[in-house]
Amino acid sequence: MKRLGLAATLAAVLALLPATARADTTYPDPLPLTGQQIIHDPTVHHLKNGRYVAYSTGGIIGARLSTDMRRWDDAGNAFTEPPGWWYEYNDKADPWAPDLSYRDGRYWLYYAVSSWGTNHSAIGVATSRTGMPGTWTDHGKVFTSEKTDPWNAIDPAIVRADGKLWMSFGSYWTGIRMVELNPKTGKAIPGATVHHLATRPDAPYAVEGPSIVKHGRYYYLFASYDACCQGVNSTYKIRVGRSTKVTGPYVDSTGKPLLEGGGDLLLAGHGRYVGTGGESVFRDKGKDWLAYHYYDAEDNGTPKLGLNRLGWKADGWPSLP
């Protein structure tokens, strides 16, 4: 058989690959930002007072404020001091991965308290009329996990579906789970079923940080896969699957279940933007946005805020234009 040149061989190989595999090799850079960009596990919201707020892991739930979603300023913390019960789960009262939402005339801030490498964890909730830093009233535990549980109660994310309120959560320990909440208290319904949404085939089941949104007739589950929190050595990436029911089953565009390790790759590290993950999705002025952190390879691996427009293809799957 005639021997092909390198370029021709590469072209022949690429022609045999599915289109999605080719598309996954390039990713858009995040929106150019200024000001205080250092952040981890961001949740972003456009408040009714006109300001944008981003809450995050670090401090007593660190806060950033912006008037245009481009320049961000340090705004202290959500809380002036940590609630006492946090010390049951972390000796430094260090909260993680908040989730901000609005309903029934109040802002609701969910967050996790745990320690690295254990599933002795708790998710808490606080409310505020304005959503601004320093205005939050804590209401205690929403849902907990212990070392005997096959899940980890961290990384909460709230979604409403079919008249009910749901919270997805999870990190390692068999992956992403979901539980129904009481809409009046914002806390888990006692004895509610803990649904299983996504996992990896093998231990340590490296998937965490869910975010669920509805588009069209589908619910879309975004999650962070692989290793976080290692600076320029982080391998975090964002994958997505969808389901017609909020409780699943979720599948990727090939039909592979997320409970079997499936998930379309939406965003991975590229160039200076390493370890993209810790994501959340928010809507502003009729447009959807993806918020996440990345580790800046040109700034010693400092974690920074990433923002990208979230688009939707004709077949309903999300894309980053």
Q: Is pLDDT at 11 greater than 70 in this prediction?
A: no
* Domain residue limits at 192: 39-319
Q: Could you tell me the pLDDT band of residue 257, with boundaries at 50, 70 and 90? A: very high
Q: Could you tell me the pLDDT band of residue 15, with boundaries at 50, 70 and 90? A: very low
Whether residue 78 is contained in a domain is answered as yes
Mean pLDDT, the chain, integer: 92
**pLDDT at residue number 25:** 57
pLDDT digits (tens, 9 = 90+) for 64-103: 999 999 999 999 999 999 999 999 999 999 999 999 999 9
Q: Is pLDDT at 204 greater than 80 in this prediction?
A: yes
Q: Is pLDDT at 14 greater than 50 in this prediction?
A: no
Average pLDDT of span 243-268: 98
- Matching residue, tokens 């946005």: 289
**pLDDT at residue number 26:** 86
Average pLDDT of span 245-256: 98
Q: Is pLDDT at 9 greater than 90 in this prediction?
A: no
Whether residue 145 is contained in a domain is answered as yes
CATH number assigned to the domain comprising residue 126: 2.115.10.20
Q: Could you tell me the pLDDT band of residue 104, with boundaries at 50, 70 and 90? A: very high
Whether residue 75 is contained in a domain is answered as yes
Which are the catalytic amino acids?
Answer: 41, 208
Q: Is pLDDT at 222 greater than 80 in this prediction?
A: yes
Domain tally for the chain? 1
**Least-confidence region, from 3-17, 39-53, 82-96, 240-254:** 3-17
Whether residue 22 is contained in a domain is answered as no
Whether residue 3 is contained in a domain is answered as no
**Percent of all residues in the chain with a pLDDT value above 70, rounded to a whole number:** 92
Whether residue 44 is contained in a domain is answered as yes
Average pLDDT of span 291-300: 98
Q: What predicted TM-score, i.e. pTM, was given to this entire model?
A: 0.91
Whether residue 242 is contained in a domain is answered as yes
Task: Give the per-residue SS3 of the chain.
Answer: CCCCCHHHHHHHHHHHCCHHHHHCCCCCCCCCCEECCECCCCEEEECCCCCEEEEECCCCCEEEEECCCCEEEEEEECCCCCCHHHHHCCCCCCEEEEEEEEECCEEEEEEEECCCCCCCEEEEEEEECCCCCCCCEEEEEEEEECCCCCCCCCCCEEEEECCEEEEEECECCCCEEEEEECCCCCCECCCCCCEEEECCCCCCCCEEEEEEEEECCEEEEEEEECCCCCHHHCCCEEEEEEECCCCCCCECCCCCEHHHCCCEEEECCECCEEEEEEEEEEEECCEEEEEEEEEECCCCCEEEEEEEEEEECCCCCEECC
Whether residue 190 is contained in a domain is answered as yes
Q: Could you tell me the pLDDT band of residue 314, with boundaries at 50, 70 and 90? A: very high
Average pLDDT of span 221-232: 97
